[in-house]
Amino acid sequence: MDLETRIKQFRTLLESDPDNDMAHFSLGNALLQADRKHEAALSFIACTKINPGMTKAYQLAARALIDSGHSDDAMDVLHDGYIEATKRGDMLPKNAMAEMFGELRLEVPVVETAQASAPEEVGGDFKDRKTGRMGTQLARRPFKGPVGEWIYENISKQTFDEWIGMGTKIINELRLDLSRDEHDAVYDYAMRIYIGLTDEIYNEITDGKSPPMPDGQFKSVIDEIMARGGHLEDLQGQMHTRVED
């Protein structure tokens, strides 16, 4: 599929679902590939407004702003993004943004990180299929189609929010470009594992279709990330070296 077709598809998707952070992120990547850097930066910034945890979007937005001659606009993006990445332990975006601060001859912000606290007990009237705990139901389906419907009916908002955090780490760690089908399959595979959407369930809810699978290298890396429970801080953003571009 050519870039202009991809760009049009993501814009059409955003017309019907403007709060879709991943669509904004994917549109930004497609615009970057088309060398439309300032437009790409705006899409990445829109992504961060919806999901501040998408720290890779801050990094890409700042880089695109600098490269398109809008360094002044990049300063606030870098500041906010560096703080988010530091607090979340997203090493790859954090280090990349630190380099951009040096490039612009700006001081890197000092960020105080709070110690992790025990998760709060969440009440509610919706039972999460993955954890068995009570919580609250998502306000709406996270995306269209049978998988989105299954998530809405079976996965609590609390668990899906946890997945978004995990998914963001995976995007950052593996440098995924979700405008590429093969990278989108990696993200979907990780999501299915995390929320407990087995191949059998996928087959049942999609009338016999098989789920999209990543290639072997990505699959093994995703399996390791899941085995670690998403605790990737000790890897210093180097898991992307285990897969070929």
Question: Which CATH number fits the domain that encloses residue 12?
Answer: 1.25.40.10
Whether 244 has a pLDDT exceeding 70, the answer reads no
> What is the pLDDT at residue 197?
94
> What is the pLDDT at residue 116?
46
User: Residue 204 half-sphere exposure, CB side, CA atoms within 13 Å?
Assistant: 7
The residue to which tokens 């809810």 are assigned: 205
Contact 105, 66 (CB under 8 A): no
Are residues 56 and 139 both part of a single domain? no
Q: What is the mean pLDDT of residues 212-238?
A: 68
> What is the pLDDT at residue 124?
80
Two structure tokens written together for 137: 């139901």
pLDDT category at 236 given cuts 50, 70, 90 is: very low
Q: What is the mean pLDDT of residues 59-66?
A: 96
Find the radius of gyration of the CA atoms of the chain: 18
Decide if 217 is inside a domain. Answer: yes
Q: How many domains does the chain have?
A: 2
Decide if 12 is inside a domain. Answer: yes
> What is the pLDDT at residue 176?
86
Q: Please write the tens of the pLDDT for every residue from 72-108.
A: 999 999 999 999 988 877 777 888 899 999 999 999 9
Decide if 156 is inside a domain. Answer: yes
> What is the pLDDT at residue 87?
85
Are residues 155 and 228 both part of a single domain? yes
Q: Please write the tens of the pLDDT for every residue from 114-130.
A: 554 444 555 688 999 98
pLDDT category at 239 given cuts 50, 70, 90 is: very low
Decide if 110 is inside a domain. Answer: no
**Full domain range(s) for residue 85:** 3-103
Are residues 43 and 131 both part of a single domain? no
- Give the C-alpha separation, 233 to 215, whole Å: 25
Decide if 97 is inside a domain. Answer: yes
> What is the pLDDT at residue 174?
83
Q: pTM for the full model?
A: 0.62
Whether 165 has a pLDDT exceeding 90, the answer reads no
Decide if 242 is inside a domain. Answer: no
CA distances from 187 to 27, 45, 164 (A): 16, 21, 11
> What is the pLDDT at residue 67?
96
